Structure 1
Amino acid sequence: EMLKNATCDLFAERVESFVRSTLNAKKDRQRANRYRMLMSHRFERASADAGDAVGMIAAQGVGEPSTQMTLNTFHFAGMGAAHVTLGIPRLRELLMTASKKPKTPTMQLPLLMTENVQQNAKHIAQSTRRVA
């Protein structure tokens, strides 16, 4: 109930779902209420106040990574690596066009946690990398 007064409905539903699935309602009532209050406080702190410069914060959130991607693109340019679609073109592809068929496909491969997992990961990455 306290969550629904100050937060969005979806967030309140997720918190209540977590409380129901994790805590015993009668036995852990105090813990459940403390958790609800903590989540309500976290939600309030994550919200922007009226008049905050959210546009500038968002621009920094895009500007800094895009600058780093551009610098990395130039760094890899002379190495013949397959990083030619990094930087601003890649950011533009992701943000501006939201293409259903991206020109730079990616893969996520789960690996078994073994002693030599990093060596295996490097080997897989090198063997699956496409060089144009």
Structure 2
Amino acid sequence: MTGAVAGAATGCDAAKETAGDIVSSASSAVASAAQRKMDEIKDGANATDEVTAGPTSVDGDRTVATVTATNPKDATADYTVLVTFRDDGGNFLDTVVLTLDAVPAGASKSGTARSNRTLTGPTTAEIERALRH
């Protein structure tokens, strides 16, 4: 009987590892897709210091954060922003790309970054990269 229980426990551990691998693989795929989207922007200027993310909250089954771009230039600009959601330990949970169109010169404009999936526990939103174009 002990051998059967030990075998069952090993099977559960293997299933947990496989599930963890699947989640890790899916997270990597999402991050890669978001990075490719950012790489599509040609002639964009690094504007990470012009964009901020507010605190996260829950909207339905998704985590959201208000993202604000402040355009210091003399002309209207678009912003493409890579927003990463992390848990309270700093671990990657999800990433999204948000576009803020037509941010007026010398002004700010906000939009909502919305996670691709349900996130649990305390989360923060970070601006990983922002391009002004």
TM-score (norm 1): 0.28
Greater relative contact order structure (CA < 8 Å, 6+ sep): 2
Instruction: Tell me which structure has the larger Cα radius of gyration.
Output: 1
Higher helix share: 1
